[in-house]
Structure 1
């Protein structure tokens, strides 16, 4: 029986089911999920007392002020879990320590800037400048795209390859950071999409022995997303704000670049490109639509032309909208894993785990909301 379980575990990419490496990844995920899950109620209560809340506007769907400090709890859960994993040192990550630190520093900058923007408002130009800084931070620490490694594209001279790769890296990081932020408009959408994306990328990265650092970071990010989603599924008790959305977008973009250190960028970026096709396509259609309407600054003029807004208008239900977009993200993730060559058994297990986790947090939130309603009536 034990041998059969161990054999199955190896078939889904787990070399040693009871080894320190796998258990550390699992502990990282559970730490992030539990810490975020339990930390958010306290953050919510404090946010209400000090007035950290989003007011209703043309982009938001809430009818009354809603605490917007969820991003701080997500970041705290993510960092705590990474610190725990780092202390355990289950795997050798010395070769990429500087890159991991660069990612964490950049994520911190995104969260702080997003939080300040949530509370006081920052100009689009300043936010873009900070995002550019975050992208440059990755580049100077060795995390960048090599254009000549991208399949199906012509090889260019080295004098052109480097600046072109830098430009693509900036576009990738800044673009995905904004894409995830723009997707945040309906309860549960970004939390669920980020959870699905992080888990799919984790499984894909686990197929390669030198991507252990990426696996740890993605486990922490996935756990934080799941813990947050417990409180954000409709009816939401708190939202992540720009702090949380940009944290997810930036970190997912940055961690995907860790795969370019020893493997070709074609293999390491194709999967995240497919996995995160939903926010990318949403942002693309919104930007093109606004430009077509003569809006010169498409990122600085919020409206309700996003996919989640269109779906909400069609379904009339926030929960159904979130579920549909989770399904789309999951389908994109499966396609990405197939392209990556992830074993079929691993794909099936990943889908089942994702569905179970999403059902569990949605069920817990709905049950809690019903209990809150009954308490109000009494």
Structure 2
């Protein structure tokens, strides 16, 4: 038993049988189960009321596909956080306020995103709401400290403060949109979000004073995994505005912590972990600007990484797995950059790979059963 405890401590688990680890585990399981089970009734209701994306030249679906998956993801995430907080309340008032700011910003983005999915909103209005959500983090102390970023000069306080505000808004709004833009092939965003959440969770678990971040990431990882059960190709539902929930929350949580060091000093780790959506958005925006498009975020095309990979593989499943692999390799690089022990990195990669295989296999099995039932009904 002592050996098991020692082994767990090497993985960042201070007490294998303590309330802290139980809270994280239960948060993850609660989010996964609620999202997994909540999606079918949400899908049925969405089809009845017309909450669906119609087929077009940019989409892979050939029939109306419900786009309300984000509601189930959000429900699983929030309920799991309530469960985790009940088991292990964070007594530091400042951190509690920051967590509430993250949840409030995520709720605002979910609400506006859902309205946009169903009725359509202008890109400028959506950007304004994203800026407001980023400012909500800033006024509650979640920011990147420019003077703490390695290899950059230390500047005057006022100049550094302005640059810190700019970088924080760019980080939050940029990653929010990056995850949204990556959502083009079944399973890609859900898998990338699960990988990033799990890797950041393990990274945060190495520090004793990042319990709040660990709980939030456990809920986010669980809801992403539960959603993937229904979204791996062929998808029965898409997340719609759920991609902004993943992007915003990952960006915000990467700034959360009570360590004496600045969040900016450790920005390299989340940059590496979330390199895939960042690189995708960068190459898309640069390419559109080069073609003379003045508003690159408002002119969709097929130049995203998932479109390029899909053109080569010719298969949505292989495309998802290929991009998951890239995201996992980026996550492994991020963990090594943080100085996490190789055994911990290996076990994290095995857990992530095994979890993704499990939900993908369950989705394929369900699709085979559905197809067999359809053939029997025709006969």
Q: Give the TM-score normalised by the residue count of structure 1.
A: 0.98
- Residues 69-148 of structure 1 mapped to structure 2, 5 A cutoff: 69-89=68-88, 91-148=90-147
Match of 1:33 in 2: 32
Match of 2:356 in 1: 358
Q: Distance in 1 between matches of 2:178 and 2:58?
A: 15
Task: From the superposition, tell whether residues 316 and 267 of structure 1 become closer, same or farther in structure 2 (CA, over 3 Å).
Answer: same
> Aligned runs of 1:1-378 on 2, under 5 Å?
2-89=1-88, 91-241=90-240, 243-259=241-257, 262-378=260-376
1:306-340: per-residue Cα shift (whole Å, max 9, x none)? 00001111000000000000000000000000000
Distance 2:132 2:59 in 1: 28
| Distance (Å, rounded) in 2 between the aligned partners of 1:254 and 1:58 | 34
Residues paired across the two proteins, number: 376
Please report how far the alpha carbon of residue 135 of structure 1 lies from its aligned counterpart in structure 2 after TM superposition.
0.3
Query: After superposition, what is the alpha-carbon deviation per residue over 1:72-109, rounded to whole angstroms, capped at 9, x for unaligned?
Result: 00000000000111112255443301000000000001
Structure 1: how far apart are the matches of 2:345 and 2:81?
25
Q: CA deviation at 1:61?
A: 1.7
1:20–1:90 contact (8 Å) kept in structure 2:
no
Counterpart contact for 1:145–1:260, Cα < 8 Å: no
The TM-score normalised by the length of structure 2 is: 0.97
Residues 259, 268 of structure 1: 8 Å contact kept = no
C-alpha distance in 2 between matches for 1:95 and 1:311: 44
8 Å contact 2:73–2:224 — kept in the other structure? yes
Deviates more, 1:197-206 or 1:91-100: 91-100
Cα gap change, 1:261 to 1:10, in 2 (>3 Å): closer
How far 1:56 sits from its partner (Å)? 1.9
What CA distance in whole angstroms lies between the structure 2 residues aligned with 1:376 and 1:239?
22
Q: For structure 2, list consecutive stretches of 5 or more residues without a partner in the other structure.
A: none
On the 8 A contact 1:24/1:90 being kept in 2, the answer is no
The alignment partner of 1:296 has SS state of coil
Deviations 1:23-46 (A, max 9, x none): 110000000000000000010000
Q: 1:267 Cα shift? A: 4.0
Which contiguous aligned blocks of 4+ residues in structure 1 show a shift greater than 4 angstroms? none
Q: For 1:263 and 1:331, locate their aligned partners in 2 and report how far apart those are by CA, in whole Å.
A: 26
Is the 1:144–1:260 contact (alpha carbons within 8 Å) kept by the matching residues of 2?
no
Contact 1:93-1:212 at 8 Å conserved across structures: no
- Matched-pair contact (CA < 8 Å) for 1:47–1:68: yes
